[in-house]
């Protein structure tokens, strides 16, 4: 079939380079080998025949997805269910129904209107938040992709319009819209690069290969006549398996995961690919790994329900008392009250049927005392949370200038939950790291280069300056000791620390120290290359004694890879594309060192390298003979090349443990030094690889190549074993050249953020799809691990062919042994780190071993889970949440993190480079991980205290108000008379006490944001739930009961025993009700003034304005015509205002009602101050300015001792360093004492 050449045609036929994946048959010899059509294998896709999928049984869902909680059908019933599962709303629904009967104490509108308002506001808020999710779904579903519409024509269609069987064309750097069968690509041999960060978190590119049978379908016109049938497995969440076959041109071809392109992975380094839709929409594997959006409620909100239950119990109790009391009075006393005409016409007061009257009074009392249940609490909390969310969204300190994104509160229901987090489960790639690799250090011929002081060493040096000066001055006390010291070689592990101890870096000079510190954080000007050491740069290495070994080291970097040089069309500079970002970093580094990889053909690689004799750059061509690719089992990669002189070399790079085992006896010259350097690099969190080579004789190569070729062409299950055996034959007797260290670059501020979170008492688990070595390196880089930690590794030992029961027993033994070690007294202060493999988790999470595993994990300072699938992430999160009972937060940035984010109490999505799936499923979104520090320690702490105080104050004011109604019933022999005017009742929660409590919930600050970050221990108040404990709740209820008693008894006593006016007039119910209501308004508003720690003009306006509004209302209300009023006609200007008794009673009652709380807070601050009280006092008296020692001492005390984080690493390094210095000092003194000069 004739074809025109594409842009990438003729570049490289990768199948001829790869040794372990080429030359495999793709034709099914026996069609009956795969039994499709049975359970689990019913999917049939008719390629390029969309009409066949428009009706059953082959009709499948389209490609649209939805992450919303509701749809147009379910919104009303589900949202109403959400609202009326709140017990307060359910009670007021019952009260609203009863309000239309004769038993109502108030008019129906006064009961129904508040309920409709409260529920309506909450439903509108839910609708708005879900509307935002709907638009984000719409944005994803509206992405376009080229779809074949017939006759070889491709048109742009939205993702949601795709159906099973459609042929699509995906171009470079675009996401795959659904799960596709890979047909062909822009490369000649049907290969493409796929980035799967969204699926498994791995940064390295995966290679996918199409079937040989579909290679020719590589242009639009050739898709015209393509007809085929796919039979495969049903939709399932397994990302790493696929079983199916393709019937094409009367032949069956077996399909494997290598031919499947999964939704939300990205096409990289390939111009275009063609694919057929296998699974669409909700059937795709990434969506199958997700779970339905849960409806989350904070712990405080759940506890608030119990408070409502308690208040409802009190309501029923006092209603019962009123019912029984009314029944008794009606039966025994009312017959003597002839003036009330107890004839039985009123069913509420019928002496002949007193039990029925009592029952009816019980129902009426339930409505009358309803103000004990704060209906406005929920809507006020909703308003407060929405306003809190606005402040979080507008926090300029959480705005990222690089991405122009800011923090976003996607659901405000969980604001206060941010202040109670104890466990953080974090993704790695894209969350902690930037998905960028940088070449940092290397060890060549036994010498470490690029070894500048890191941040930990600098922090240690600064804190130990005094000790070092004292130590060095002691050594310099005599000449002989100085000479002894000069000749002495320190054995401290880090070369940079040796320099610091010897004074080579002049850490005693603060100016130079600051320059070094500034240099550490300086960004590299060359992307992927952050190496600083003049020993190798600018071709200075050519004068080194081991120049030949150094040159070979650079040659291995430049030749042992799968990269391709690509010329930039604009700048005409070479860029590199490879399977992994590490290889790109190596190629950039080799170029900077003078070995530039500039060309690759099918059988040759061309370098521009420095000639050692002439010191001139020359071009050399190396013939590529074989490539032994990297795999997780081999942990190494090799190429076999021959130079222009015919010499054959094997160049190898891989894990140090693998390389060291394959060295010749005379190839271990640099092994000891290299091993020490590798330990230092690993402690700095760098990824390391060892480099080695060997020279191969032509006869040996010829013999080996025939064996290797035979293994390559073998078809069957023994092929892999034969290839591995052949590679072992040649990858031996190598000479070690050194090692390289690259950094999986952390996002800005990640170590500092983790350090601050650890000081605040949070535990952090790392869940990643990366391999174990990579995860451990990142653990060191972000200070989740440190060198003195005891690492516990849970791995399956030769799990192949083992029964599940045997595997479970093996894992259980490992777990129990490790747990006993963590519990031993000798290890009490030793930090432990648990590293778990995904295969272990697969067994653990599906068996009864999970509880033993979690018991061990909780005992460890740090937990790292590797090779974890998206579903395992969600399962781990759910288990940790359920087992520990602690508030968990999950944070991630990719589609593979959606399940974890939804399973946690709080889900945080990073709006980074991996799409919007994590953000769409999250409760909060952040541009960078470092903003989590401020979100939790500042906003979480504030919101927790604000919501706690708001709820407690609401309970207080409603009990104060509601109990006065009950006391009046007792006082009036359960008459059922309402003490207050109906308008007074309506205004109490709506206007007169609503604004101050909203100001409290939105603007309250115990300390400023800067102080929150300086004193992370303040965050532990939320973890211990100090401000919303049952002790504090009961305390506020008791305070409210006392205040209501004080208000009622003092007011009644004043009006019952003294004349109301000068003429001897006494007050009636209108005067008594208005006076008592005034006392309530003053008391509850002055109470909130005592609660507030941070006053603003808004709070002053709302508090004193609410009190003032009461008097304004009385004047306006009293001026209305008497026919429109119940009992308020001119009550203030003519009755209350001129009476001194009114003002005196108000003043005395407010003082007496608030006195206990005032005494309590004075006593607490004086004798039992909390952390925030101490800080407030220091700030008030400006001790942070005048006495910095006190301020720093309090700061140090506020930091919880942690085994993880930057500070923990510094503390551990200081202990290690001091011990080393002590031992060296002893050795020096012993050597000087035995010297003949003394």
**Residues 1083-1109, mean pLDDT to the nearest whole number:** 93
Cα–Cα distances in Å, from 1159 out to 279, 1152, 1162?
A: 69, 11, 5
Q: How confident is the model at residue 463 (pLDDT cuts 50, 70, 90)?
A: low
pLDDT in tens, 979-1032: 888 788 878 887 888 899 999 999 999 888 888 888 888 899 999 999 999 999
Q: What are phi and psi of 566, to 5 degrees?
A: -125, 125
Q: How confident is the model at residue 244 (pLDDT cuts 50, 70, 90)?
A: confident
Percent of the chain exceeding pLDDT 70 equals 82
pLDDT, position 497 = 39
Residue 487 has pLDDT above 50, yes or no: no
Residue 523 has pLDDT above 60, yes or no: no
pLDDT, position 491 = 35
Nearest-angstrom CA–CA distance, 873 and 851: 16
**Residues 833-844, mean pLDDT to the nearest whole number:** 86
Nearest-angstrom CA–CA distance, 36 and 28: 13
pLDDT, position 472 = 42
Nearest-angstrom CA–CA distance, 841 and 202: 18
Nearest-angstrom CA–CA distance, 576 and 571: 14
H or E stretch covering 517:
helix 510-520
pLDDT in tens, 904-932: 999 998 886 555 667 878 889 999 899 99
pLDDT, position 495 = 41
Q: How confident is the model at residue 795 (pLDDT cuts 50, 70, 90)?
A: confident
Residue scoring higher pLDDT (1238 or 187): 187
pLDDT, position 998 = 92
Lowest mean pLDDT among 79-93, 120-134, 687-701, 1122-1136: 1122-1136
**Residues 1107-1133, mean pLDDT to the nearest whole number:** 81
Percent of the chain exceeding pLDDT 90 equals 25
Exposed/middle/buried for 123, CB within 10 Å: 0-12, 13-18, 19+?
middle
Contact 771, 809 (CB under 8 A): no
Contact 969, 319 (CB under 8 A): no
pLDDT in tens, 144-201: 999 998 888 999 999 999 999 999 999 998 999 999 999 999 887 788 888 887 776 5
pLDDT, position 932 = 93
Q: How confident is the model at residue 1105 (pLDDT cuts 50, 70, 90)?
A: very high
pLDDT, position 1172 = 82
pLDDT, position 343 = 58
Torsion of CA 703, 708, 713, 718, to 10 degrees: 120
Residue 1143 has pLDDT above 60, yes or no: yes
Q: How many CA atoms lie within 13 A of 456 on its CB side?
A: 31
pLDDT in tens, 629-660: 887 678 889 999 998 888 999 999 998 888 99
Largest Cα–Cα distance in the chain?
130
Q: Where are the beta strands (DSSP E) in 250-371?
A: 251-255, 260-261, 266-268, 272-279
Question: Is 1172 an annotated catalytic residue?
Answer: no
pLDDT in tens, 1152-1171: 999 999 999 999 988 888 88
Nearest-angstrom CA–CA distance, 555 and 37: 54
Helices (H), 667-718: 671-683, 698-712
In this structure, the chain runs to a length of: 1238
**Residues 944-973, mean pLDDT to the nearest whole number:** 91
The single residue of 200, 427, 744, 1211 carrying the catalytic annotation is 427
pLDDT, position 360 = 79
| DSSP conformational letter for 663 | B
pLDDT, position 948 = 94
Dihedral sign from CA coordinates of 84, 87, 91, 96: negative
**Residues 119-135, mean pLDDT to the nearest whole number:** 81
Lowest mean pLDDT among 113-117, 155-159, 582-586, 851-855: 113-117
Q: How confident is the model at residue 24 (pLDDT cuts 50, 70, 90)?
A: very low
Residue 586 has pLDDT above 60, yes or no: yes
pLDDT, position 693 = 94
Quick one: three-class SS letters along 942-1008?
HHHHHHHHHHHHHHHHHHHHHHHHHHHHHHCCCCCCCCCCHHHHHHHHHHHCHHHHHHHHHHCCCCC
Residue scoring higher pLDDT (605 or 202): 605
Average pLDDT, the chain: 80
Which range has highest mean pLDDT (115-119, 427-431, 973-977, 1052-1056)?
A: 1052-1056
Q: How confident is the model at residue 478 (pLDDT cuts 50, 70, 90)?
A: very low
Q: How confident is the model at residue 26 (pLDDT cuts 50, 70, 90)?
A: very low
Residue 292 has pLDDT above 70, yes or no: no
Comparing CA positions, the residue from 884, 882, 883, 807 lying closest to residue 843 is 807
pLDDT, position 419 = 92
The conformational region for residue 250 under phi > 0 = left, psi -120 to 50 = alpha, else beta, is: left
Q: How many CA atoms lie within 13 A of 660 on its CB side?
A: 12
Contact 562, 583 (CB under 8 A): yes
Nearest-angstrom CA–CA distance, 1195 and 756: 12
pLDDT, position 10 = 41
Contact 600, 578 (CB under 8 A): no
pLDDT in tens, 601-624: 767 899 998 888 878 888 999 998
Residue 1101 has pLDDT above 70, yes or no: yes
Nearest-angstrom CA–CA distance, 829 and 823: 10
Nearest-angstrom CA–CA distance, 732 and 729: 7
Residue 81 has pLDDT above 80, yes or no: yes
pLDDT, position 511 = 36
pLDDT, position 695 = 93
Comparing CA positions, the residue from 1188, 1207, 1187 lying closest to residue 1199 is 1207
């Amino acid at each position: 079939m004739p074809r025109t050449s594409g842009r990438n045609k003729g570049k490289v036929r990768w199948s001829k380079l790869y040794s372990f994946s080429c030359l495999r048959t793709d034709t099914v010899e026996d069609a009956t080998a795969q039994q499709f059509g049975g359970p689990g294998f019913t999917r049939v896709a008719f390629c390029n025949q969309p009409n066949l999928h428009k009706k059953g049984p082959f009709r499948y869902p389209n490609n649209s997805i939805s992450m919303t909680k509701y749809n147009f059908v379910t919104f009303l019933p589900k949202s109403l269910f959400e609202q009326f599962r709140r017990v307060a709303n359910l009670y007021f629904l019952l009260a609203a129904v009863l309000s239309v009967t004769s038993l109502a104490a108030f008019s129906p509108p006064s009961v129904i209107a508040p309920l409709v308002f409260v529920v309506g506001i909450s439903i509108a808020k839910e609708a708005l938040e879900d509307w935002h999710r709907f638009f984000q779904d719409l944005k994803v579903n509206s992405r376009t992709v080229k779809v074949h519409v017939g006759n070889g024509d491709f048109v742009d269609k939205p993702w949601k319009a795709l159906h099973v069987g459609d042929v699509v064309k995906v171009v470079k750097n675009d996401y795959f819209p659904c799960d596709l069968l890979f047909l062909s690509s822009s490369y000649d041999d049907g290969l493409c690069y796929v980035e799967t960060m969204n699926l498994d978190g791995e940064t390295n590119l995966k290679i996918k290969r199409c079937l040989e049978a579909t290679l020719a379908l590589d242009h639009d016109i050739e898709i015209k006549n393509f007809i085929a049938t796919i039979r495969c497995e049903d939709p399932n969440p397994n990302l790493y398996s696929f079983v199916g076959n393709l019937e094409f041109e009367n032949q069956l071809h077996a399909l494997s995961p290598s031919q499947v392109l999964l939704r939300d992975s990205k096409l990289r380094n390939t111009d275009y690919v063609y694919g057929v839709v296998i699974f669409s929409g909700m059937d795709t594997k990434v969506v199958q790994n997700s779970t339905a959006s849960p409806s989350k409620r904070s712990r405080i909100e759940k506890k608030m329900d119990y408070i409502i239950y308690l208040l409802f119990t009190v309501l029923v109790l006092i209603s019962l008392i009123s019912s029984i009391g009314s029944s008794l009075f009606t039966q025994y006393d009312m017959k003597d009250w002839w003036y009330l005409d107890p004839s039985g016409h009123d069913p509420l007061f019928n002496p002949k049927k007193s039990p029925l009257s009592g029952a009816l009074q019980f129902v009426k009392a339930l409505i009358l005392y309803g103000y004990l249940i704060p209906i406005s609490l929920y809507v006020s909390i909703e308003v407060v949370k929405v306003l809190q969310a606005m402040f979080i969204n507008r926090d300029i300190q959480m705005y990222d200038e690089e991405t122009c994104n800011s923090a976003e509160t996607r659901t405000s229901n969980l604001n206060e939950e941010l202040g109670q987090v104890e466990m953080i489960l974090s993704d790695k790639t894209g969350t902690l790291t930037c998905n960028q690799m940088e070449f940092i250090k290397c060890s060549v011929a036994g010498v470490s280069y690029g070894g500048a002081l890191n941040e930990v060493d600098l922090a240690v040096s600064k804190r130990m300056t005094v000790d070092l000066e004292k130590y060095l001055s002691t050594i310099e006390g005599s000449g002989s000791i100085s000479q002894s010291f000069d000749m002495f070689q320190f054995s401290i592990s880090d070369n940079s620390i040796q320099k610091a101890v010897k004074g080579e870096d002049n850490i005693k000079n603060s100016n130079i120290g600051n320059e070094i510190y500034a240099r550490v954080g300086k960004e590299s000007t060359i992307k992927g290359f952050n190496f600083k050491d003049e020993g190798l740069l600018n071709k200075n290495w050519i004068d080194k004694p081991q120049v030949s070994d150094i040159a070979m080291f650079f040659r291995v970097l430049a030749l042992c890879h799968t990269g391709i040089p690509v010329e930039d069309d604009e700048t005409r500079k070479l860029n590199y594309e490879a399977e992994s970002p590490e290889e790109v970093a190596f190629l950039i580094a080799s170029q900077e060192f003078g070995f530039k990889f500039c060309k690759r053909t099918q059988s040759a690689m061309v370098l521009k390298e420095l000639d050692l004799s002439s010191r001139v750059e020359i071009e050399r061509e190396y013939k590529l003979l074989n490539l032994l690719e990297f795999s997780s089992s081999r942990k190494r990669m090799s190429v076999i090349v021959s130079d222009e002189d015919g010499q054959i070399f094997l160049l190898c790079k891989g894990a140090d443990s693998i390389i060291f085992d394959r060295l010749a006896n005379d190839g271990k010259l640099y092994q000891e030094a290299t091993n020490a350097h590798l330990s230092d690099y690993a402690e700095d969190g760098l990824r390391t690889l060892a480099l080695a080579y060997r020279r191969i004789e032509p006869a040996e190569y010829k013999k080996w190549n025939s064996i290797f070729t035979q293994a390559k062409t073998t078809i069957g299950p023994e092929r892999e074993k034969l290839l591995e055996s052949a590679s072992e034959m040649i990858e031996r007797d190598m000479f070690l050249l050194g090692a390289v260290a690259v950094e999986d670059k952390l996002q800005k501020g990640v170590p500092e953020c983790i350090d601050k979170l650890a000081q605040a008492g949070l535990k952090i688990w790392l869940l990643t799809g990366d391999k174990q070595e990579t995860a451990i390196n990142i653990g060191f880089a972000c200070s989740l691990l440190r060198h003195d930690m005891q690492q516990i590794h849970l791995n399956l030992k030769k799990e192949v062919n083992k029964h599940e029961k045997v595997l479970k027993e093996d894992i259980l033994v490992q777990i129990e042994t490790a747990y006993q070690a963590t519990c031993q007294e000798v290890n009490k202060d030793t930090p432990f780190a648990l590293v778990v493999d995904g295969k272990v988790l697969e067994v653990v999470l599906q068996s009864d071993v999970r509880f033993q595993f979690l018991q061990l994990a909780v005992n460890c300072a740090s937990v790292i889970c590797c090779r974890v699938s998206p579903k395992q992430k969600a399962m781990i999160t759910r288990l940790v949440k359920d087992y520990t009972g602690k508030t968990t937060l999950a944070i991630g940035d990719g589609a593979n993190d959606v399940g974890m984010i939804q399973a946690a109490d709080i889900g945080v999505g990073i709006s980074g480079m991996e799409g919007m799936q994590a953000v769409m499923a999250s409760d909060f979104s952040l541009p960078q991980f470092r903003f989590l520090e401020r979100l939790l320690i500042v906003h979480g702490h504030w919101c927790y205290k604000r919501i706690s105080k708001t709820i407690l104050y609401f309970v207080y004011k409603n009990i104060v108000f509601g109990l006065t109604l009950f006391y009046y019933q007792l006082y009036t022999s359960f008459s059922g008379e309402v003490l207050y005017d109906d308008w007074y009742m309506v205004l109490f929660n709506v206007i007169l006490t609503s604004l101050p409590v909203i100001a409290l919930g939105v603007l309250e600050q115990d300390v400023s944001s800067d102080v929150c970050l300086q004193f992370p221990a303040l965050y532990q108040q939320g973890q211990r739930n100090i401000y919303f404990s049952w002790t504090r709740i009961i305390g506020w209820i008791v305070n409210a009961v006392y205040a209501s008693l004080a208000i009622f008894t003092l007011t009644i006593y004043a009006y019952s025993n003294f004349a109301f006016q000068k003429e001897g007039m006494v007050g009636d119910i209108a005067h008594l009700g208005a006076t008592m209501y005034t006392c309530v308004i003053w008391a509850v508003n002055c109470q909130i003034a005592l609660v507030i720690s941070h006053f603003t003009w808004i709070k002053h306006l709302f508090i004193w304005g609410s009190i003032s509004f009461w008097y304004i209302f009385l004047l306006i209300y009293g001026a209305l015509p008497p026919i429109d009023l119940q009992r308020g006609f001119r009550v203030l200007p003519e009755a209350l205002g001129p009476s001194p008794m009114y003002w005196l009673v108000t003043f005395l009652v407010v003082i007496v009602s608030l006195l206990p709380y005032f005494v309590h807070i004075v006593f607490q601050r004086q004798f039992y101050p909390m952390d925030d009280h101490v800080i407030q006092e220091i700030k008030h008296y400006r001790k942070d300015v005048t006495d910095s020692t006190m301020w720093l001492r309090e700061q140090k005390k506020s930091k919880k001792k942690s085994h993880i984080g930057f500070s923990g690493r510094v503390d551990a390094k200081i202990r290690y360093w001091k011990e080393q210095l002590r031992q060296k000092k002893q050795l020096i003194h012993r050597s000087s004492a035995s010297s003949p000069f003394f």
